[in-house]
Amino acid sequence: MIRRIVVALALATSCTAALPCGHCVEDKVAVVYDHAELLRAEAAHHHVAFCAIEGNLPPGEATQHDLTRAAESAQGVDHGSVRVSIDNPALAFTFDPSRTSVERAVKSMNRKLSSLGVRLEPVRVMERTAELKNVDSAKTSGP
């Protein structure tokens, strides 16, 4: 019995929590994901772009403000839609695909951000939210 307890404690202390690495695409998307903003974009038939921020970002609200201002000034980007993370460098914005493409918007943003020594690299574009379907409980219940 004591041996089982010792083994269980040894296993429990050797397990670590899965923490986000901050480098994969999923982490970049998750850190700036705003479901309410995504629903607004979808209702307007707009898209959501998720970008990694490359370069050395000075910490602080001034940097966040500069990134937001540069993103919102690009043609076709929805004002108020920009989400920025400095800690895990990422940026998201919604845009009207009939007025611009993600490539053109990011190119415009990168011209304005070059003075900061950073650039955006698009990693994902979401055209609409995931479509979830209800599960028919009669089919999933036992025999």
Q: Which amino acid is at 9?
A: L
Sequence-distant (6+) residues with CB within 8 A of 100 are 74, 75, 76, 77
For 60-101, the pLDDT digits (tens) are 899 999 999 999 999 999 999 999 999 899 999 999 999 999
Q: Does residue 6 surpass a pLDDT of 50?
A: no
* pLDDT tier for residue 133 given thresholds of 50, 70 and 90: very low
Partner residues linked to 28 by β-bridges: none
Q: What burial letters (b/e) apply to 28-59, b meaning 16+ CB within 10 Å?
A: bbebbbeeebbebbbeeebbbbbbbbeeebee
Q: Which helix (H) or strand (E) holds 25?
A: helix 25-32
Give the residue, 4 or 46, on which the prediction is more confident. Answer: 46
Q: What is the 8-class DSSP label of residue 87?
A: T
Answer CATH for 25-126 from 3.40.50.300, 1.10.3470.10, 3.30.460.80, 3.30.70.100: 3.30.70.100
